[in-house]
Amino acid sequence: DKKRTYIKKPLNAFMLFMKEMRQKVIEECTLKESAAINQILGRKWHALERSEQAKYYEMAKKEKELHMQLHPGWSARDNY
């Protein structure tokens, strides 16, 4: 029985926001702990207007569509 290749889930809107903003937050606050940085990013995300979040939801939608094309029939359960 061959071990399956692990396929990551497509990033959601918040994860795309975190990916884009993480370095800026690190530079602003000089924190290195991932949990503290994630808390700050979470607060920033919730402070955004829905219209500002829309960019990330659109990016996530495109990422999900691409993921479905590259891995048709894939389910997150396939990784476990």
Catalogue all structural domains in the chain, each as residue range(s) with its CATH number: 13-70 (1.10.30.10)
What mean pLDDT comes out for the span 8-15?
96
Q: pTM of the full predicted structure? A: 0.82
What mean pLDDT comes out for the span 52-57?
98
- Nearest-angstrom CA–CA distance, 59 and 28: 25
